A and B are shown apart, each in its own frame.
Chain A
Amino acid sequence: MSASSGVKCRPSRMVAAWLLLATMVAGCAEGGQQAPAKAPDGARMPQSQVVMFGAGSADAGERLYGQECAFCHAGRNTGTIMLGRRMDPAQAELHKRTDLDADYVKAVVRNGLVNMPPFSKIELTDEELDKVATWLARKGPR
């Protein structure tokens, strides 16, 4: 069973999202042959701030991102390092991305992607996931 099976494609936007997802999976299968990792560090926020990401934000989506996603996707963490291997490292932290679509975020969260495990509905309810996805897509394509 692959990490990306079992998703029901809904709106047409999902098709674009799936193409992107498929490219990423394929890219990663060759992960070993890719350019040496340039661990994106330098200006990265320190871990003590990553852990507090979004605390006190008025936006529930940002707060939830801080609690459920930032530990991998902010600062110099696993998600940032892995994404930094196959895209512009400056955008490798999810909250800096300008190309995220809410449906795509939801599909990845529920199905996992390569080394990212899926999140259950107990960990993140559909309602909560909506908020995270909307917040992450705030700078994305409309």
Chain B
Amino acid sequence: MRKSIIKLENVWKTYTMGNVEVNALQGLNLEVKEGEFLAIMGPSGSGKSTAVNMIGCLDVPTKGRILLDAHDISKLGESELAQIRGRKIGFIFQQFNLIPTLTALENVALPIVFQSVDRETRRKRSTELLEIVELGDRMEHKPTELSGGQQQRVAIARALANNPEVILADEPTGNLDSSTGETVMSFLQKLNRKEGKTIILVTHDKNVATHADRIEFLKDGKIIKSLNRKGG
């Protein structure tokens, strides 16, 4: 049995807008094992992004516990959360979210900058990563000079910069055509298979979800169905 890396226990998230309360998560329970490739599916507004943001330490739950490596993150302060985000988590977004004023190489190096690693190491590591995502010839390009698929590959490289254990991808193919999306997915799959990275993927697309080992279906902030594609 593989070690559990992420565990959500009865997690609630309530947003208050004026006097209206929205329960984005309503007692969500979820466990992710080390090296697992998990897909989360569900209708719009079902709380997928909210859940992923919690796992990524971008937000803390209103109620319940989130365990990362058996540590409860709901109790941590801003700077410790930032530290965990930088070291253990790699984010990939639907809109790529690269910094427009920085080159591909600088974008990839940015998470390492926040960890105060020296320049030379940073440069070496980011160059390597861009070569892995097959963008060795686009290192000095700004995001606007890259295609969507290329930008998302830069984002993947950036997510890997600090060699995190977990990759969180919130609809990474949502803005890409299916064949480009397929390339991106094959990179993610490779990361999972070859590097043993734990990947949590949010998607609307059944075909995309088929890359995962397990699919969880979310509705109204709760898991309503699980699908195991591989025995385990």
Report whether chain A binds chain B: no
Interface, chain A (partner B; CB < 8 A) = none
